[in-house]
A and B are shown apart, each in its own frame.
Chain A
């Protein structure tokens, strides 16, 4: 694995995943773009606000045949709150997002087929999404329950897109009665769709969780 240093402060830049173009320096918050062995500083990422998330870079999850490791995180803010999206990669290179809100988790993998559904294609073309819009994905019906315009509040680790201040996206969450989840995100790079399920932390069979000061990790999660 190649060894890189931050072009801004000279600190070592761990490369968790050479396939990802963007990495945030943990020491000086510089956003670094990597391409063909070169590194380039493209800006400064906001410092992540304090939180008590039990997930950290290096946490592993194992659910429904998905075995992956967290390599990066984006924190999104909207008018009435904020949430974490953890970026994961499996050994075979597949990528996943782990959304974290209200103490619950939504583990999803990319599902581009749903982008052809007229309602979602319309959204991808820049139009607003109707609430209660119903779509079928992976053989299940979903209803749009939550539409948010979000702005990037900060990031860490390796990510597929630049998380500089001002980076915004529109997120639509679809749910169904069985606890499945479909998330459609539109940003400057385009629109992507992610399909998965809601879970509590124990349901992810996590490993290498963050030790939170003042709390003991439940025995089932150690």
Chain B
């Protein structure tokens, strides 16, 4: 009868020793976080979880002396309310002295003793053992995580209505559920007293986290809102700051299958130290064709050239899933960091067919005149060659969507990671 009772977690198979044998009813598995009913010889799984519960200031199993009595931490709870954020509660046990509570809220510790007698109700206060306790706020406390042993049935998501009555630094906490009402006397405990008694995780030592933890639940929606506002601001700033915007337009006809040819599509003046230059190309209706667009910005003073490329490609077909299309008939090219100066914009363009180029015959009629013929139409080898028309607009300034989305990712990554982390802790 003196050997300790050990149970096997039906969810993960881990072996757990029960410290308060005979009293313990619910057990939160320290290996997988599953909540077990150990009231009877046959252990039953109340709810399975798959991740060990962590991040408690004191690990269950720790022993320490408070008020001249040695206590063992046998259970730990994380609870939450909309008003107070998160806090932790530790169940202390000594077989000769019964149960006590250690509460860590807002970086401050309290020692709790359940009352055997009840305070007497007044309108705005209660009286208990000759003292008046003033009624404070009520809140709904929800149990978020459960680890270790408890002498009553408990589960994640349990809710209790908690009201605090204060008299100086002493608090009487009244918690009621549908089944019962419990009163607990809470007295403040020095950080150093708790640290001297138990091994307290370093990040929970000291009180400066008070405010931050209080509003733990509240600032995350604000972060998402700020991130959204910042992203809109980034869009606006990118649009306005990249100005002035001056444009030049032209049109070219490109013969499909012919060797690439070079033409000047306009002149632009970059009026600031550096600017984007954006060239957009929109083609006439093409199908199963691609158009290579190699641009060169040649500085009139220095004759130095900045090269960039664009590509228009558009394909259609039909397969077992039905008709498909791929690509688009337009392309936008963003040229970064173009220094101040006047630039001639040259295009080296060529259009091609897929899967094959139409076969093309090129004849030099005069020194600078060419005739081009395609024989795509076998019936009519002298039909005019296939041409595509491309409209170009080249402008100074521009909007880098790549930068916009990169910054958007960096903005939302912070609150997103916090949300994910919180969700992970809650599981």
**B-binding residues in A (CB < 8 A):** 48-54, 77, 79-82, 84, 101-104, 145, 176-179, 198-202, 209, 212-213, 215-218, 221
Contacts and interface: CB of A to CB of B under 8 A. Distances in A.
Contact of B21 (A50, A101, A198): A50
Interface string B1-28: 1111100000000000001111101000
13 contacts: A49-B22, A50-B3, A79-B39, A82-B39, A102-B152, A104-B116, A179-B117, A199-B116, A200-B97, A201-B98, A213-B2, A217-B96, A218-B94
Nearest to B40: A77
A51 B116 contact: no
A107 to B, nearest CB: 12
Contact of B95 (A49, A53, A101, A199): A53
B99 interface: yes
Contacts of B23: 51-52, 101-103
Given A49-B5, A103-B98, 13 more contacts: A52-B23, A52-B95, A54-B96, A80-B153, A82-B22, A102-B23, A102-B99, A103-B23, A178-B117, A215-B70, A215-B96, A218-B94, A218-B97
A200 B116 contact: yes
Nearest to A47: B1
B22 A102 contact: no
Chain B, interface SS category = loop
Which of B25, B96, B99, B114 counts the most A-chain CB atoms under 10 A from its CB?
Answer: B96
Contacts of A213: 2
Contacts of A212: 2, 95-96
Nearest to A217: B96
A52 B21 contact: yes
A103 B93 contact: yes
Contacts of B118: 176-179
Nearest to B93: A103
Contacts of A51: 1, 21-23
B368 interface: no
Contacts, number: 97
A221 B99 contact: no
B69 A218 contact: yes
A16 B48 CA distance: 48
A70 B40 CA distance: 25
Interface of B: 1-5, 19-23, 25, 39-41, 68-70, 93-99, 114, 116-120, 151-153, 180
Contacts of A84: 22
Nearest to B151: A102
Contacts of B151: 81, 102-103
Chain A, interface SS category = loop
A216 B21 contact: no
A43 B386 CA distance: 106
A84 B1 CA distance: 14
A50 B22 contact: yes
B96 A221 contact: yes
Contacts of A54: 95-96
A177 B117 contact: yes
Given A80-B153, A218-B97, A49 B41 contact: yes
B120 A177 contact: yes
Given A178-B117, A199-B116, A218-B69, A103 B99 contact: yes
A218 B96 contact: yes
Contacts of A77: 39-40
A50 B39 contact: no
The 3 closest A-B pairs by CB, nearest first: A51-B22, A103-B98, A179-B117
A53 B116 contact: no
A200 B98 contact: yes
Nearest to A212: B95
B97 A216 contact: no
Which of B40, B41, B119 counts the most A-chain CB atoms under 10 A from its CB?
Answer: B40
B223 to A, nearest CB: 42
Given A52-B21, A177-B120, A199-B116, A215 B95 contact: yes
B60 to A, nearest CB: 15
A66 to B, nearest CB: 17
A103 B71 CA distance: 13
Contacts of A221: 96
A29 to B, nearest CB: 12
Given A103-B93, A103-B98, A212-B95, A52 B3 contact: no
A198 B116 contact: yes
A80 B227 CA distance: 49
A215 B95 CA distance: 8
A45 to B, nearest CB: 13
A99 to B, nearest CB: 13
A201 B116 contact: no
